[in-house]
Structure 1
């Protein structure tokens, strides 16, 4: 007679593996000593990168002067004639814009809005 083929044991008959015991908790100083070299290496690397980026930049050179136009005239189109160049006598918005451009470099206001 032939023997019946061996069959796998039913699932409930399989023994669960023994639970592994966790390693004892490491002392905090041991963990600090473990991560300290890596942290120091990263910090030194970042400082070196910062130094290379700031010191290694090329110094700014003087810009190459561009040749000026032969005709140094500024043309400003206006819709109507200026009625008066006296800032106290202006009467239209167009006059205000024109006189602002004419007199803008002649005086300035301080923080208390005094001339």
Structure 2
């Protein structure tokens, strides 16, 4: 239900309190103990005819495309770009480095989509 802690924590007022009082690495808060770099997902694509929409799961991307209707135009379907950039430092926004300048949905940013795995592995070997 809507009255459990997991749902409550995601409500805007509760997240604002959490971000202001507990979240390290954001403006006005203590620094994170380790370097944290954000890869920002800027859009969701879920066209049935576009093979890129299937990376990470077509149904998941359709769901994220739907939830994107309640977010700013720059979002990964779950988090707005401004929220993704809030903690740590911006490493890159998806289209700047992904194969074919493809956007990364919230689901795709956790999978081997559009060369993301190679980007991460190459960074670790530097």
TM-score bin, normalised by smaller chain: under 0.3
The structure whose residues are more often helix, as a share, is 2
After TM superposition, the score normalised by the length of structure 1 is 0.19
Greater Cα radius of gyration, structure 1 or 2: 1
After TM superposition, the score normalised by the length of structure 2 is 0.18
The structure with higher relative contact order (CA 8 Å, sep 6+) is 2
